[in-house]
């Protein structure tokens, strides 16, 4: 019995150890499965779409991103030119008085729109009054001399009066007529109504008027100033028919012809491509730059283009229309070029924008714009990031590096 008890205890112990080992083995297997599942879930949590950056509206505003629909522009092999906007001589007026005087009143300020003949200021001076008085006296004297001349001519024709008396009357009449006509012309130049002066009216001041319609550029006088004759008082310009003055260098002269179109930009509107047409080509070289001046007509209906603005342009040759984006919209990695487009996914979270980086083939670069060809699967109605593309690229790299950790 003693031996049987010992065998039973040993068997029970063996069975117990076996069960424990089995339990431990099962537990380890479960832990491995749990770890594998956890790793798989973890990998799925970091498995975001490659080449995509997601930003909140506030982040977009902070970074200063700008987006525009993809559009076609005129690109081609061109002659690069620079220059500035100018006015035609007949569209700019420096206004000065014909006689000296003190400024009695000023009716305009810089920037005012004025019409041809409008009064800008009034000048007054005693000499202006004296000129009108002299005109009145000479005109009255002319009436007497005319009657005397006609009477003596009649007597001379009848043989009653001597030829000497007739000739003296004729000479005085003609010289006084000349004086009256001269004074009348001077007064009219001053803007004074001579018919009213003849009737006895005297004007104490004369108006200073503008000979063209336009805008007041400069006012160079103040109340009470004495202004000498031919002293510039105002500058008025009409920039509705402004033109561009470009320089074309010697090597490109043979390629330029009247009637060609020039596309150009100004610093005030760098994103807007403006158009002009060559109407005249200079015939004299500049001594330093060995360049000819090319004049091109510009339509300036909105009056936003101003004389003196620096312009960069190109004379069109082999022109073509192509999809193009600003140079700063292109992100280059090695030899491959990319752009960022706005992802129009309807499932995106509210107040968040998703940007996708896509590869593009680039072509002609012209006036700060680059021709691009989108992949076939990308719609042409996309919005392209035109400003801040490299910032988006940096954000995407940081996001990817964070996930690798």
**One domain, residues 218 and 123:** yes
Domain boundary among 217, 234, 251: 234
- Could you list the residue range(s) of the whole structural domain that residue 246 is in? 76-89+238-319
**One domain, residues 160 and 196:** yes
What is the rounded distance in angstroms from the CA atom of residue 148 to the CA atom of residue 138? 15
Q: Which CATH number goes with the domain that contains 272?
A: 2.40.30.170
**One domain, residues 226 and 109:** yes
Give me the pLDDT at residue 50, please: 65
Residue 29: partners with Cβ closer than 8 Å, 6 or more residues away: none
Tokens of 72: 């076609």
Neighbours of 323 (CB within 10 A): 19
Domain boundary among 319, 335, 351: 319
**One domain, residues 66 and 164:** no
The CA angle 140-143-144, to the nearest 5 degrees, is 95
> Is the entire prediction scored with pTM above 0.75?
no
**One domain, residues 370 and 301:** no
**One domain, residues 67 and 122:** no
What is the rounded distance in angstroms from the CA atom of residue 245 to the CA atom of residue 292? 10
What is the rounded distance in angstroms from the CA atom of residue 109 to the CA atom of residue 120? 9
**One domain, residues 230 and 153:** yes
Domain boundary among 182, 202, 234: 234
**One domain, residues 114 and 57:** no
Give me the pLDDT at residue 46, please: 36
Q: Which CATH number goes with the domain that contains 149?
A: 2.40.50.100
Give me the pLDDT at residue 349, please: 66
**One domain, residues 343 and 280:** no
Regions of the chain with pLDDT less than 70? 1-50, 77, 287-289, 302, 318, 345-349, 399-405
**HEC-encoded secondary structure of 169-200:** HHHHHHHHHHHHHHHHHHHHHCCCCHHHHHCC
Tokens of 83: 């220059």
What is the rounded distance in angstroms from the CA atom of residue 355 to the CA atom of residue 50? 11
**One domain, residues 227 and 245:** no
**One domain, residues 67 and 38:** no
Alpha helices by DSSP H, 91-246: 126-157, 163-189, 194-198
Nearest Cα residue to 51 out of 403, 402, 404, 392: 392
What is the rounded distance in angstroms from the CA atom of residue 148 to the CA atom of residue 154? 10
**One domain, residues 135 and 186:** yes
What is the rounded distance in angstroms from the CA atom of residue 188 to the CA atom of residue 186? 5
Q: Which CATH number goes with the domain that contains 352?
A: 2.40.420.20
For the chain, what is the domain count? Answer: 4
User: Which DSSP category does 284 fall into?
Assistant: S
């Amino acid at each position: 019995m003693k031996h049987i008890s010992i065998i039973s205890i040993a068997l029970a112990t063996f069975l117990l150890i076996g069960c424990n080992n089995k339990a431990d083995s099962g537990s380890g297997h479960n832990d491995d499965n749990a770890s594998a599942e956890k790793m798989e879930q973890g990998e799925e949590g970091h498995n975001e779409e490659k080449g995509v950056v997601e930003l909140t509206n506030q982040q977009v505003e902070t970074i200063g991103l700008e987006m525009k629909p993809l559009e076609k522009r005129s690109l081609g092999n061109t002659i690069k030119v620079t220059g500035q906007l100018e006015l035609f001589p007949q569209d700019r007026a420096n206004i000065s008085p014909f006689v000296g005087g003190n400024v009695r009143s000023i009716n305009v300020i810089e920037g005012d729109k004025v019409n041809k003949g409008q009064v800008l200021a009034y000048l007054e001076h005693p000499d202006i009054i004296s000129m009108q008085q002299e005109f009145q006296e000479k005109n009255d004297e002319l009436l007497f001399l005319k009657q005397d001349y006609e009477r003596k001519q009649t007597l001379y024709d009848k043989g009653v009066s001597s030829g000497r008396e007739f000739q003296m009357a004729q000479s005085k009449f003609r010289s006084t007529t000349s004086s009256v006509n001269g004074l009348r012309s001077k007064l009219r130049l001053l803007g004074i109504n001579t018919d009213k002066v003849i009737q006895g009216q005297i004007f104490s001041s004369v108006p200073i008027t503008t000979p063209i319609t336009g805008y007041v550029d400069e006012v160079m006088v103040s109340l009470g100033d004495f202004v000498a004759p031919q002293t510039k008082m105002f500058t008025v310009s009409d920039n509705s028919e402004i033109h561009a003055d470009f320089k074309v260098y010697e090597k490109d002269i043979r390629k330029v012809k009247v009637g060609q179109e020039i596309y150009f930009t100004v610093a005030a509107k760098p994103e807007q491509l403006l158009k002009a047409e060559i109407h005249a080509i200079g015939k004299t070289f500049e001594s330093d730059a060995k360049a000819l001046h090319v004049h091109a007509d510009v339509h300036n209906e909105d009056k936003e283009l101003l004389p003196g603005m620096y312009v960069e342009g190109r004379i069109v040759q082999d022109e073509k229309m192509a999809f193009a984006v600003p140079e700063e919209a292109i992100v280059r990695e090695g030899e491959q070029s990319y752009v960022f487009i706005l992802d129009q996914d309807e499932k995106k979270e509210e107040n968040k924008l998703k940007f996708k980086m896509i590869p593009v083939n680039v072509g002609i670069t012209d006036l700060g714009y680059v021709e691009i060809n989108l992949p076939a699967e990308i719609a042409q109605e996309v919005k392209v990031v035109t400003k801040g593309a490299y910032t988006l690229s940096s954000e995407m790299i940081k996001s990817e590096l964070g996930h690798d950790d």
